[in-house]
Structure 1
């Protein structure tokens, strides 16, 4: 059971997890863990499932998925009948006003839909995965020169569930660097998996870039792949000016994660998100929604 905080209703809700029984079996049973180690975490498994989700054979999954998870079709840019495969639906675009963006230059917005954790004054050697499990920024980035830049800064972790809108966006105007890709495995990023696999983010496939932003310093954007994620696709043009709210890229099928790192004394995260994070609860947010302020 995964409980998260709904800041709109100021209450806790239970997440309806896609493939919950499969996740529990895989990450909690001896047989499941063995299967995970031999097959599921490997690239081939996710590649093959990704190919299925790219094929017309997967189209019949779309309506059932929408109904099972009560996804709002009114937000879709295209009618569901026009999606050629499940990945077309999964990486769907939304109508223009589905995600209002706060363009105030002092406001920090969420880069996507999902459930968010945030930590301020971070220790690069002890980043929190879940209570009791940590990892280091050096292990995550594999670049010693970048680690000191974000010492005592802010870390924001946005977990995108399979039921979420799966495009991610820039949170400020600026110039974004080229993307650096790091090969890795394909563990689930669901909290069930995060509690079982030490240093999970450091083991999974991931990629990152630096946004030299107008208002919030140099922001490190990292996208982390997961089980059954066919691809992380960057749609922005590197070293060219981007605008707040503009699309940066999208994930194909699977739950995924966007991690942001801010330099020291650049921003402050909204108190409700910080307090829930301290208690170990994620907060539900939408792309374009305020999550913090410029210092």
Structure 2
């Protein structure tokens, strides 16, 4: 069974062990972080910090990622070194679904995606203390997360890291036939594989010839909201989330005014996903603004945590695109996260370049992360099925090029 898995009863499991349900799940789609039943009461902050460091160090010496950094809830029972290091984690895995449900577009089915163990430890450090809690020789939690994220990126940039590629492919049941280079032995580093390219025909763009059509920017788990207020009501619970804070501009600026009342599309990439991101519109590449920040996990549980700001606190790069059909700007925000080493721009780094829907803009190095696209009023009407799922709220599984919505003809 791969990590897209769940502790659901067998009747919900398909023959390929990817758990599906034809009815809405009886429990909440997201884990309640502060529930008395799902915390780790015997785990000290020092133990949690030591666990995260050990997982990163383990990835340097051990090539099977499923036995370390990408271990998920259903595999913990067979990995004694992890549940001895992190007291209570195996009990938590047995009693609660550590992860979240994702809707399969075009059906009533949902799958459960288990959370990698490194993300769960990162959340424990943050949610059962704060950034001022000091761990491991008086290092602040935020500093620890940043240090380990940078360290993991360097480890996976080394030639020796290629030894972990086969187990990563097996753990996530990746389809190598769609890759531009399907021979996994030809990649120079793990990060080289992680930011792998696809064949040009692997992701056809829906309504490619329609200048008003808008498409998905990534292989991802997607939520969409017609207004920022709806996004904050159903999904983004951080008190500091505003468009100016996301874009790193003053609230009184012209940019803030332009994006006031924007529609938001949130593309969350899991570790298993193809990690290049693409243009959702026909348009022109503008400025890229880098905003330094933290390395919090971007799992839905963190985004849904009241008072905890992920998108406006994490390191991120903002690309401004000009939409050809309306002449209005679209803000394309690539957000780093826990164990994500870098954000790289390809076509998105060439100011003045004309791009079409589905053209590559850039990529993430190791780790799952998120893109948030902000569309000014009137630029997009999201597809109804995506809006309906987002109001549950539950993410929808989509691919690069899938329809996201359309610009109203009157604009």
Could you state the TM-score of these two structures normalised by the residue count of structure 1?
0.91
Deviations 1:87-114 (A, max 9, x none): 0110000011111112022321001110
Please give the secondary structure, in 1, of the residue aligned with 2:311.
Answer: helix
Deviations 1:177-201 (A, max 9, x none): 1200001011111123324471111
Bigger shift: residues 81-90 or 44-53: 44-53
- Report if the CA contact (8 A) 1:129-1:199 is conserved: no
Bigger shift: residues 155-164 or 22-31: 22-31
- Report if the CA contact (8 A) 1:140-1:201 is conserved: yes
Aligned CA distance change for structure 1 residues 278 and 11 (closer, same or farther; 3 Å): same
Structure 1 residues 182-261: aligned runs within 5 Å: 182-196=291-305, 198-215=308-325, 217-236=328-347, 237-261=350-374
User: For residue 215 of structure 2, what is the aligned residue in structure 1?
Assistant: 109
Distance 1:85 1:31 in 2: 36
User: Does 2:102 align with 1:8?
Assistant: no
Distance 1:143 1:127 in 2: 19
Structure 1 residues 25-44: aligned runs within 5 Å: 25-28=121-124, 30=128, 37=141, 39-42=143-146, 44=147
User: For residue 67 of structure 1, what is the aligned residue in structure 2?
Assistant: 170
Q: Tell me how far 1:148 sits from its aligned partner.
A: 1.7
Distance 2:174 2:353 in 1: 35
User: For residue 245 of structure 2, what is the aligned residue in structure 1?
Assistant: 139
Q: Tell me how far 1:127 sits from its aligned partner.
A: 4.0
Structure number with the higher strand fraction is 1
Distance 2:157 2:232 in 1: 35
Larger radius of gyration: 2
Q: Tell me how far 1:286 sits from its aligned partner.
A: 0.3
Deviations 1:177-230 (A, max 9, x none): 120000101111112332447111111001112111112532111100011111
Choose which of 47, 64, 89 in structure 1 pairs with 2:150. 47
Bigger shift: residues 281-290 or 231-240: 231-240
Aligned length: 291
- Report if the CA contact (8 A) 1:187-1:227 is conserved: yes
Distance 1:209 1:31 in 2: 34
- Report if the CA contact (8 A) 2:264-2:374 is conserved: yes
Bigger shift: residues 213-222 or 109-118: 213-222
Bigger shift: residues 207-216 or 219-228: 207-216
Deviations 1:10-32 (A, max 9, x none): 31111143x2x332233136489
Question: Runs of at least 4 residues of structure 1 off by over 6 A?
Answer: none
Distance 1:123 1:10 in 2: 27
Tell me how large the CA RMSD over aligned residues is.
2.2
Please give the secondary structure, in 2, of the residue aligned with 1:162.
Answer: coil
User: For residue 171 of structure 1, what is the aligned residue in structure 2?
Assistant: 280
- Report if the CA contact (8 A) 1:111-1:170 is conserved: yes
User: For residue 119 of structure 2, what is the aligned residue in structure 1?
Assistant: 23
- Report if the CA contact (8 A) 2:215-2:405 is conserved: yes
Specify every segment of 5 or more residues in structure 1 that has no aligned partner in the other structure, as ranges.
none
User: Does 2:243 align with 1:130?
Assistant: no
Choose which of 54, 63, 83 in structure 1 pairs with 2:187. 83
